[in-house]
């Protein structure tokens, strides 16, 4: 099934930012149709092992590039990641007014802010600051405190939220340790070769682009373009497949990255899920 643009009804935390964290392995959902109870079950497709191409002499691997990024980000205090999905085109341009945009900011050692916008409208905000979690917008109206609507900040007591509930999963994401700017990368992906593809300008930074390719077990090709600046800090990541692209832009140690608790939050000790 092709990668589709994000919508306002999906990808709440922790799924919410699965790809904004520089995920280098896309999971593509398989389309299925549910029939009657007596229908013959459809057998699960057999996974096909995809061979890892042999590196050319002197060629760097994805793992080599990520190791450089790891070393460069050791001294970083704050990070902003902005992600959206759209049809393949000017993927590094400004998101369209209809695109849902996810922004995640972190400040070491333990502050995180996640904001969802569509056009000029902010539809959801989630904070973890000073050891406390706060929510405002669609998350409050949907599964935390529906009676408060979307206009009130809510302070959520993690002890009153079931871990397996939607609210509990969001709390778990917000309070997770701040780690690498990219997600979990498989050994197979780390072994894949990269190709240098010139330079681009991203938010005033001159960045070198590195491309690499992955293939799913069904044979679907996924193209990656990861750019880094002269300090080996990532500038952008574009993941493309089936006519759609997930784009992530990165900013580091910008003075505008600030996470402060709301002054008027309403304390909620439980949610409709528990």
**How many independent structural domains does the chain possess?**
1
| Average pLDDT of span 251-268 | 95
Least confident stretch, 55-59, 81-85, 117-121: 55-59
pLDDT of residue 191 exceeding 50, the answer is yes
Is 48's pLDDT higher than 80?
no
Weakest mean pLDDT among 67-76, 101-110, 239-248: 239-248
Burial 11-21 (b: 16+ CB within 10 A, else e): bbbbebbbbbb
From 27-31, 112-116, 194-198, the region with the lowest mean pLDDT: 27-31
pLDDT band at 34 (very low <50, low <70, confident <90, very high): very low
Helix (H) or strand (E) holding 171: helix 166-174
Q: E-strand spans in the chain?
A: 78-87, 100-107, 111-118, 121-129, 132-137, 154-156, 195-202, 205-215, 221-228, 234-241, 244-252, 266-268
Instruction: Give the residues across from 206 on adjacent strands.
Output: 201
Residue 42 lies in a domain: no
Whether 258 is covered by a domain: the verdict is no
Confidence of residue 266 (pLDDT cuts 50, 70, 90): very high
* Residue 240 in domain: yes
**Alpha carbon distance 104, 21 (integer Å):** 9
What pLDDT is recorded for position 250? 97
Q: Is residue 209 part of a domain?
A: no
Q: Which residue has the higher pLDDT, 19 or 72?
A: 72
Asked if the structure places residue 241 within a domain, the reply is yes
What is the structure's pLDDT at 27?
A: 29
* Residue 49: per-residue pLDDT: 52
What integer pLDDT is reported at residue 17 of this predicted model? 28
114 assigned to some structural domain: yes
Bridge partner list, 124: 116, 137
Q: Residue 138: inside a domain, yes or no?
A: yes
Beta bridge partners of 111: 107
pLDDT level of residue 223 (50, 70, 90 thresholds): very high
Percentage of the chain exceeding pLDDT 70: 78
Of the candidates 61, 56, 49, 85, the one whose C-alpha atom is nearest the C-alpha of residue 215 is 49
Share the mean pLDDT of the chain. Answer: 81
Q: Which residues of 211-230 are buried (b: 16+ CB within 10 A; e: fewer)?
A: ebebebeeeeebebbbbbbe
Residue predicted with more confidence, 46 or 97: 97
Residue 32 has pLDDT above 50, yes or no: no
Range of the domain at 153: 15-24+56-191+236-252
Q: Answer whether residue 210 is part of any domain.
A: no
């Amino acid at each position: 099934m092709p990668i589709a643009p994000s919508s306002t009804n999906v990808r709440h935390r922790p799924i919410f930012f699965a790809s904004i964290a520089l995920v280098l392995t896309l999971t593509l959902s398989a389309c299925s149709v549910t029939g009657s109870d007596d229908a013959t079950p459809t057998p699960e497709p057999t996974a096909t092992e995809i061979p890892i191409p042999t590196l050319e002499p002197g060629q760097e691997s994805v793992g080599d590039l990520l190791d450089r990024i790891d070393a460069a980000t050791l001294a970083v205090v704050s990070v902003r990641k902005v992600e959206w999905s759209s049809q393949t085109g000017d993927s590094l341009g400004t998101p369209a007014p209809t695109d849902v945009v996810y922004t995640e900011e972190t400040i070491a050692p333990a502050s995180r802010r996640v904001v969802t916008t569509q056009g000029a409208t902010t539809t959801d905000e989630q904070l973890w600051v000073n050891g406390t979690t706060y929510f405002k917008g669609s998350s409050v109206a949907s599964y935390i405190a529906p009676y408060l609507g979307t206009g009130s900040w809510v302070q959520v007591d993690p002890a009153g939220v079931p871990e397996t509930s939607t609210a509990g999963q969001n709390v778990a994401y917000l309070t997770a340790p701040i780690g690498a700017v990219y997600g979990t990368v498989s050994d197979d992906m780390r072994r894949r070769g990269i190709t240098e593809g010139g330079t681009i300008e991203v938010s005033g930074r001159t960045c070198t682009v590195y491309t690499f390719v992955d293939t799913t077990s069904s044979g679907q090709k996924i193209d990656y373009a990861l750019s880094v600046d002269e300090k080996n800090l990532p500038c952008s990541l574009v993941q493309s497949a089936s006519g759609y692209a997930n784009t992530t832009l990165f900013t580091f140690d910008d003075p505008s990255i600030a996470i402060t608790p709301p002054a008027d939050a309403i304390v909620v000790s439980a949610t409709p899920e528990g």
